[in-house]
Amino acid sequence: MNLISQRYIDLILHLLNFYYLAKTYKSLGEFSHNYPFLT
């Protein structure tokens, strides 16, 4: 595998990680909003 495709895959993985982190953070925020006594 050459360097360019490796960097492209790294970029995609970083974007996916950011997306899932944002989704998790959003759902955690909604969860703590619905159940404030648990946090």
Residue 8 is predicted with a pLDDT of: 95
Residue 25 is predicted with a pLDDT of: 84
**pLDDT tens digits for 1-39?**
688 899 999 999 999 999 998 888 888 888 777 766 655
Helices (H), the chain: 3-34
Distance (Å, whole) CA 19 – CA 27: 12
Distance (Å, whole) CA 22 – CA 12: 15
Residue type present at position 18: F
Residue with tokens 């899932």: 20
The vertex-21 CA angle with 18 and 24, nearest 5°, equals 150
